[in-house]
Amino acid sequence: MTNLDTRGPLASGHDARRMRRVWVLIGGLAIAVAGSYAATLVATEGEPLLVVPLVGALVGLAIFTRPELGLYFLFAAAILLEQFEISGLSPLTARTNFFQNISGFSNVPLRFSACDVVAVMTLASWLMRRVVGANAPARVGPLRWGIAAYLLAFAFGTVIGAARGGSWDSIAALAEARGPIYACLLCFLTANLVRERSQLVALLWMFVLLVGVKAFQAIGNYVEVQTRGPYWIEAVTAHEDVIFFDVAVAVALVMVALGLRGRLMYVLLALQPVILAAEVLTTRRVAFVALAAALLVVALMSAIDRPRMTLVVVAGATLVFALYAGALWDHHGPAALPVSIVRGVVDPNSLSWRDRGSNDWREIENSNIGYTVRQLPLTGVGLGQEYLFQREPPALTNFVYWRMMTHNAVLWLWLKAGPYGAFALWFLVAKVVLSGLSLYRRLDDPLLRAAASFPVLVTVAQIVFSSVDLGLTYNRTMIVFGVALGFVAPLAAWVRSAQPEPSRLSSKMAASEPQRGDGSPRGFPTPLGGQVPSGST
């Protein structure tokens, strides 16, 4: 044994004793702080705000100890907690103010949210570990140029908005950029903090279970409305929850197509009736359009392995939907909502007054978007600036930035950063779809193949939803979007690590395979992937 080997156990023992002393100190401080807080709570008769610093300190300690906990916390909060109030309802998950600026619900003039704090702490924890060499080198994976281009679009839009001056609003610019920044940051954090298969599986479990919780909550909200009122509410969930429902349904079908077995698969299948019921009860037309787009992606993935079976299933599903549409064509209500979408395209007069009003408002908005693009075709208006109005729509009193952010979030990128903004978005979308489909085809593990479908399905559902709603500016959806995109980096790394180097492969096969007359091994793979028959030239 060398000198280095001899010192290794001694050094390890010394480090272990030092770590025990550190943890004893931390435990003592935690007990002292907890005791002080308990005494203070008793003295103040349970003032709830006093708990906030304690909870924040505990969360911060956990994140700086294990930065991946910050990633899990953000992902879970994005699925579980509402960013905005649900009109007519007041569930506990909508009253946390987790995504709201502290200045928005208190007298403290701080324009950042608890979500911002957790995200910054998670990044800081990873950076500090990287500085001391405790983390592997940074990576972004195959999406690095797409993420960079997308982030640059908002930097460009901010410069444009500030340069135009006038009524430029820096606070509004921050509100517009926050969601996309979350997407890029969470993609980076996921790519660098998810290094093991168990961590990726944990994120999938969180998605499945928390989407199930939101589905049960939606049904509970519907029952509450039907029994207690009010009866005029628009939906029983937040608008963006339907993205999560759609992806959960699509991922379940991907797992079925892959023949996956296991608890995750069984739990997700068991939740499908609840998720589909919530999808119907929330009465969002875009939910079914996004679901249809996601199902097309599932069919494409399934066709990679089983083209004939996929064709039969798609034909059967089309026939079932045709029979369903024929039976409920003249009906109204939640159960007939998918049919009403098709009926509304054929006969716009068949839409409800609410849907007609929504369509009319969006038509005015789209005409104003077109007018703005014609006036500023190369730069757009920039972040923090109002876009140009040729026709004045009815004011949206419940949304502060309705003159800056459009429901058509896909075209909103052009408004804010010109044609480069639109290019950056679609470049990123193309990179995600192509990378995800490539990984789905190359991976062998069925669960990892299902994980490879996750970023593709989230992206497709997100883009369809964002074409009619503010999907690219919601913090919740952008956090989930970023985490989904972050899946690509570890999956791509695992694919590369599973493939032996060509030189090593050649030497191993040359040593073990029978040799042909020309000295090359028999049955050696050709560049086209075929087999060279023994004795052929």
- Of residues 502 and 132, the one with the higher pLDDT is 132
Whole-number pLDDT of residue 386: 94
Among 10-19, 63-72, 110-119, which is the least confidently predicted range?
10-19
Asked whether the predicted pLDDT for residue 504 surpasses 50, the reply is no
The pLDDT > 70 percentage for the chain reads 81
- Do 220 and 237 contact (CB within 8 A), yes or no? no
Mean pLDDT for 422-427 is: 97
Q: What pLDDT score was predicted for residue 6?
A: 40
pLDDT over 80 at 81, yes or no: yes
Q: pLDDT grade, residue 515 (50/70/90)? A: very low
For residue 495, is pLDDT > 60? yes
Average pLDDT over residues 269-282: 94
CA distance 263 to 248: 15
Q: The whole model's pTM is what?
A: 0.83
pLDDT: which is higher, 305 or 189: 189
Residue range 75-87: average pLDDT?
92
Residues 6+ apart with CB under 8 A from 172: 383, 384, 401, 404
Q: Mean pLDDT, to the nearest integer, of 233-240? A: 84
More confident residue, 527 or 264: 264
The span from the CA of 348 to the CA of 2, in Å, is: 83
For range 431-440, the mean pLDDT? 97
Give 520's pLDDT tier (boundaries 50, 70, 90): very low
Percent of the chain residues topping a pLDDT of 90: 58
Are the C-beta atoms of residues 364 and 393 closer than 8 Å to each other?
Answer: yes
Q: What CA–CA distance (Å, rounded) separates 269 from 258?
A: 14
Burial, 59: exposed, middle or buried (Cβ in 10 Å; 0-12, 13-18, 19+)?
middle
Cα of first residue to Cα of last residue in the chain, in angstroms, is 53
Residue 276 clears pLDDT 90, i.e. is over it: yes
Residues belonging to the chain: 537
Provide the Cα torsion 27, 29, 34, 40; round to 10°. Answer: 170
Structure letter (DSSP) for residue 98: T
The 10 Å CB-count burial string (b at 16+, else e) for 420-451 is bbbbbbebbbebbbebbbbbbebbeebbbbbb
Q: pLDDT band at 523, cuts 50/70/90?
A: very low
Instruction: Summarize the confidence of residues 480-496 as an average pLDDT.
Output: 96
Q: Which of helix, strand or coil describes residue 237?
A: coil
- As a whole number of angstroms, the distance between CA 168 and CA 481 comes to 29
Q: What are the domain boundaries of the chain?
A: 143-496
Distance CA 456, CA 295 (A): 11
Share the mean pLDDT of the chain. 84
Rounded Cα–Cα distance for residues 102 and 468 (Å): 29
- Output the pLDDT for position 153: 97
| Mean per-residue pLDDT, 444-454 | 96
3-state secondary structure of 108: coil
